[in-house]
Structure 1
Amino acid sequence: MPLFLAMLRNETAASPEKRAAALAGLAAYQRAPRPKPRPEKPVLARSGRAVLRDYGGHGQPVVFVPSLINPPLVLDLARGNSLLRWLSRQGVRPLLVDWGNPTPDEAALDMNGHVEQLLLPLLRQLRRPPVLTGYCLGGTMAIAAAHAVETAGLVTIAAPWHFAGYGAALEGFAALWDQAYPTCEQLGLVPMEVLQAGFWQLDPRRTILKYERFGRLRADDPEARAFIALEDWANAGAPLTFGTGRQLFDDFLSADLPGRGRWEAAGTTVRPETLGMPMLSLVSTTDRIVPAASAARLGEVREMALGHVGMIVGGRARKAVWEPLAHWLTTLRRTR
């Protein structure tokens, strides 16, 4: 992890002892054994490199739209900690968008293209109008998709919309993109390391502390296994297409086109306040990745003091997010 090592060197507040402990934790994480990957869920629909995976269950189809950043499997992280598998037993039918891996040939494909060329064709293959549930940047794209296809409802979970709400962090994002732009343009892709640097600069001390703490855990501790599963997810992921990176940094983070009501996608201006469907927004008041000031707030809004990833896989996620979401979805089914 060269990026982590560079961050550790630059974190002046870390004492030599803390740096040594963090490095020991990093080494323990890298050496730790991993379970065999679970079989992938069957494909229900396909559009280019994107597929829709079927998690079973019965009732209202609910399409989960994950972010383009990091793999979609945070929604199905580990045995005993899977929102999608749990929901499949609660009277709904979860379906997961798997974006696949982009190639440099798709350099011009931006987020609009992901909505128009990949997501909407997947949704149009379903027999029933689904509820769209978007997590993080997937929620931003789900809002655009809901303008273009018949939808039974819309849920956003920690979805950025008012990008001006990032406040002082915007300057750091702009500097990062200025530095990375020439290389990314040449590659036709935005490597995961660029995005990781953006996340870590939001709170570098917290990143150091989590590895320091992991180094003190026993290898057979359930908390250690949970940490490994989550970090493997956070450190993985396909690159973004250059077009997606350019749109994210220039049109969203810099110009805030969505928040200003000026984002056009799928042939229309995306204005969520015009959507006439049941909507629910789950917002974290302690999120560093999508600060509360930046989050979409549509229809019924529920706030909670959980972190960005903790909303999905944390120890309090079931009570705070999973159960209220299942109740909202099953109630929606009964009232339609």
Structure 2
Amino acid sequence: MRRSQALAGLRRYQEEPRVKRRLAKAVRRQGRARLRDYGGIGRPVLFVPSLINPPYILDLMPGRSLMRWIAEQGFHALLLDWGEPQAEDHALGVRGHVERILMPLMRRLEEPPVLVGYCLGGTMSIAAAMGAPSAGVAAIAAPWRFDGYGEARTNMAALWDAAQPACEQLGLVPMEVLQTGFWKLDPARTIAKYEAFAGMDDEAAAMFVAMEDWANRGAPLTYAAGAELFTQLLLANAPGTGTWEVAGRTIDPATLPCPAVEFVSLGDRIVPAATAMGLDNRHDLGAGHVGMIIGSRAREQLWEPLRDWLNALP
């Protein structure tokens, strides 16, 4: 019964109509990356998404767009779109994306921005704030102590061992490799969510489709970024052990030269709470990895506390 219900949900997902979405206009470029301007008057707030999955989770649909809401709260909202890597970018690692894309874009702004990083983008934002002028940094569901993944790291290591030779030849790590890793974190949930989707009303179904399309899409990682993510961050736990270096600096959140805050989801399966940095200024949320950004309680749990923190910055 459950299998047939899940298959019915999968068929419905495949057949549901899609709404074409457009991100805000790009106002600057740095290599393949684009800086998208969502308007607003005030201090620049630069949102940094993960290298994994598209950036539009921060601007998903009307009423569920953190970018557009922040722009209405008295801030100049900017979104970093990492773009589509090519095989010739194979040598650009995670740290290279910070050094050659994020930090140069920060320096090109008229005043130091506040960085708001989501998922791996939060990890990278901490590193960028150590090396380029920043008015503050907020990390949302950002992994830092990668040993907090526990036994899941064994599965991730096996996945990388199997995929690494082909990825090295391609110069890229396809999204399918990363998606397999996410599925391994909670395989039963994949079945359960499609089972539930089969009986959703139209409004809930539209949200589900938008979220799933986002989760199932994304540009590949450069080979160097994938190798650094799997070997140095996930398996060696370089950030958590104080051995991760970016732009010639060892990255230690305790020595940030600007105010910092982290938002941690206690129900996150993708970035478990055990991987958090442990900043003094920490907000715990009762939402999942994606729900904290676009869920029905996202405004109450994340958007408004983030706005209040931004307003309190000197």
- Same fold per superposition (TM over 0.5): yes
Of 6, 10, 34 in structure 2, the residue corresponding to residue 26 of structure 1 is 10
Query: Could you tell me which amino acid in structure 2 is paired with residue 22 of structure 1?
Result: A
Matches within 5 A, 1:128-167: 128-167=111-150
Tell whether 2:170 aligns with 1:170. Answer: no
1:283 matched to which residue of 2?
Answer: 264
2:203 matched to which residue of 1?
Answer: 222
Q: Once superposed, what is the RMSD of the aligned Cα atoms?
A: 1.0
Tell whether 2:237 aligns with 1:256. Answer: yes
Query: Could you tell me which amino acid in structure 2 is paired with residue 79 of structure 1?
Result: P
**Are the aligned partners of 2:138 and 2:260 in contact in 1 as well (CA < 8 Å)?**
yes
Q: Give the Cα separation in 2 of the matches to 1:20 and 1:114.
A: 44
Name the TM-score, length of structure 2 as normaliser.
Answer: 0.98
Q: Give the Cα separation in 1 of the matches to 2:277 and 2:46.
A: 18
| Alpha-carbon offset, residue 286 of structure 1 | 1.2
1:269 matched to which residue of 2?
Answer: 250
Query: Could you tell me which amino acid in structure 2 is paired with residue 282 of structure 1?
Result: F
**Are the aligned partners of 1:131 and 1:153 in contact in 2 as well (CA < 8 Å)?**
yes
Tell whether 2:82 aligns with 1:99. Answer: yes
Q: Give the Cα separation in 2 of the matches to 1:153 and 1:196.
A: 32
Query: Could you tell me which amino acid in structure 2 is paired with residue 307 of structure 1?
Result: G
Q: Give the Cα separation in 2 of the matches to 1:305 and 1:175.
A: 31
Q: Give the Cα separation in 1 of the matches to 2:280 and 2:76.
A: 22
**Are the aligned partners of 1:158 and 1:296 in contact in 2 as well (CA < 8 Å)?**
no
2:166 matched to which residue of 1?
Answer: 183
Q: Give the Cα separation in 2 of the matches to 1:296 and 1:168.
A: 19
Of 298, 307, 324 in structure 1, the residue corresponding to residue 305 of structure 2 is 324
Matches within 5 A, 1:102-113: 102-113=85-96
| Alpha-carbon offset, residue 21 of structure 1 | 1.5
| Alpha-carbon offset, residue 252 of structure 1 | 0.7
| Alpha-carbon offset, residue 105 of structure 1 | 0.8
2:212 matched to which residue of 1?
Answer: 231
| Alpha-carbon offset, residue 296 of structure 1 | 2.4
C-alpha change, 1:176 and 1:101, in structure 2 (3 Å) is same
**Are the aligned partners of 1:66 and 1:138 in contact in 2 as well (CA < 8 Å)?**
yes
Query: Could you tell me which amino acid in structure 2 is paired with residue 45 of structure 1?
Result: R
Instruction: Give CA-to-partner distance per residue, 1:204-236, whole Å, 9 cap, x none.
Output: 111111111111224xx2100000111111111
Q: Give the Cα separation in 2 of the matches to 1:171 and 1:155.
A: 30
Instruction: Give CA-to-partner distance per residue, 1:14-69, whole Å, 9 cap, x none.
Output: xxx2222111111111111112323x312222110011111101111110110000
Residue 185 of structure 2 aligns to a residue whose secondary structure is coil
| Alpha-carbon offset, residue 304 of structure 1 | 1.3
Instruction: Give CA-to-partner distance per residue, 1:105-142, whole Å, 9 cap, x none.
Output: 11111001101111111111100110011100001110
Query: Could you tell me which amino acid in structure 2 is paired with residue 37 of structure 1?
Result: R
Residue 165 of structure 1 aligns to a residue whose secondary structure is helix
Count of residue correspondences: 314
C-alpha change, 1:149 and 1:299, in structure 2 (3 Å) is farther
Percent pairwise identity: 58
Greater than 3 Å deviation, 4+ residue runs: none
Segments of structure 1 that go 5 or more residues without pairing to the other structure are: 1-16
Q: Give the Cα separation in 1 of the matches to 2:55 and 2:204.
A: 22
Residue 166 of structure 2 aligns to a residue whose secondary structure is helix
Segments of structure 2 that go 5 or more residues without pairing to the other structure are: none
| Alpha-carbon offset, residue 275 of structure 1 | 1.1
Query: Could you tell me which amino acid in structure 2 is paired with residue 273 of structure 1?
Result: A
Residue 258 of structure 2 aligns to a residue whose secondary structure is coil
Query: Could you tell me which amino acid in structure 1 is paired with residue 2 of structure 2?
Result: K
**Are the aligned partners of 2:59 and 2:68 in contact in 1 as well (CA < 8 Å)?**
yes
